[in-house]
Amino acid sequence: MDKLIITAALTGAEVTKEIQPNLPITAEEIAVEAEKAYEAGAAIVHVHAREDNGSPTQDIEYYKSIKEEIGKRCPVIFQPSTGGATWHTAEERLQPVDLKPEMATLSTGTCNFGDDVFMNSKEYIVKFAKKMKENRVKPEIEVFEPGMIANAEYLIKNDLVSTPLHFDFVLGVPGAMPASAKNLVFMVGSIPAGSTWTVAGIGRHETPLAMMGIAMGGHVRVGFEDNIYYKKGEIAKSNAQLVERVARMANELGREVATPDEAREILNLK
């Protein structure tokens, strides 16, 4: 089994300071949080930028500052979001790809997202994939529903992405695919041979699915984007606290944790 790649999803677009007082907002706060997550075992940080008032933004200038601040502090892989918030336009969402990060997310289908709709039409998906290919950015295929795997296969068939692909199964978003062991096994069995994968369980599903990801030879994402609690009724102190728990579980299960450079090898980023 490869070493375990832990991704820390530091901010998300939906979580607010009101419900998670430890949420980092400014570029400096996000970079300090990234460094702490790196020290706890994260090889990748998935980031959504925020304006100073906390609103999610896809403005390239915010992402540029975050990338620079993180780069000053640690060698973690910077993975900006192209999902943004449900109300962002495709053009807004694509901006961080111009920074040529090593990776960026690419959602390959539309789904309900709480009370909203997360829109990813075929036109969007193709446009995003083309832009990432032009900029040599490795997509992490964000999958919220099984049909999104078929759309990723369409990108492969049309030479819009390079293989092997890396998938992230985000399970438990209200309105999309529920988080369960059965669903994770189904998803893992449905991706093209040779692909790598990560699992992100939403809310209380984060830790059980992380445990499954470790045991099944996949990789794991945790962080405030997906879950704000350390355990029932206890708000997490930091993203690093959630990363530390995954690293401890991996240790108990005999799975070593990958450094950013080892993750670069596993994901063919070099």
The reply to whether 113 sits near ligand KMH by the rule CB under 6 A is: yes
| CA 242 to mean position of chain CA atoms | 14
Q: How far is the CB of 136 from ligand KMH (least distance, A)?
A: 19
Q: Quick check: 83 binds ligand KMH (CB under 6 A)?
A: yes
Contact between 13 and ligand KMH per CB under 6 A: yes
The answer to whether 79 contacts ligand KMH (rule: CB under 6 A) is: no
Binders of Zn ion: how many residues, by CB under 5 A?
A: 2
118/107 Cα distance (integer angstroms): 9
Residue for token pair 């438990």: 172
Residue 82 in the binding site for ligand KMH (CB under 6 A)? yes
Please tell me the number of Cα atoms within 13 Å of 269 on its side-chain side.
25
85 binds ligand KMH (CB under 6 A): yes
Q: Is residue 118 at the binding interface for ligand KMH, with CB under 6 A as the rule?
A: yes
Shortest distance, position 254 Cβ to ligand KMH, whole Å: 31
Residue nearest to ligand KMH according to CB distances in the complex: 83
Our finding on whether 227 is near ligand KMH (CB under 6 A) is no
- The partner in contact with residue 207, picked from Zn ion, ligand KMH, none with C-beta cut-offs of 5 to 8 angstroms by kind, is none
Q: Is 107 in the site for ligand KMH (CB under 6 A)?
A: yes
Candidates 11, 81, 108, 239; binder of Zn ion (CB under 5 A) is 81
- Contact criterion met (CB below 8 Å) for 82 and 75: no
CB closer to ligand KMH out of 63 and 113:
113
Q: Quick check: 44 and 37 in contact, CB under 8 A?
A: no
Q: Do the Cβ atoms of 104 and 81 come closer than 8 Å?
A: yes
Per CB under 6 A, 241 contacts ligand KMH: no
Distance CA 216, CA 181 (A): 11
Q: What residue 113 binds from ligand KMH, Zn ion, none (CB within 5 to 8 A, per partner kind)?
A: ligand KMH
Nearer CB in complex with ligand KMH: 174/217: 174
Q: What is the C-alpha to C-alpha distance for residues 25 and 247, in angstroms, rounded to an integer?
A: 25
Bridge-based pairing of strands 138-143 and 166-171 is parallel
Angle at alpha carbon of residue 103, lines to 99 and 105, rounded to 5°: 100
Rounded to an integer, what distance in angstroms lies between the CA atom of residue 124 and that of residue 109?
A: 9
Closest residue by Cα to residue 139 from 177, 184, 85, 83: 83
Stretch that binds Zn ion, among 73-81, 177-185, 188-196, 230-238 (CB under 5 A): 73-81
Q: Which residue is nearest to Zn ion (CB)?
A: 81
Residues whose CB is less than 8 angstroms from the CB of residue 67 and which lie 6 or more positions away in sequence, other chains included: 78, 80, 99, 101
Q: Which residues bind Zn ion (CB under 5 A)?
A: 81, 83
* Contact set with ligand KMH (CB under 6 A): 13, 81-83, 85-86, 105, 107, 113, 118, 142
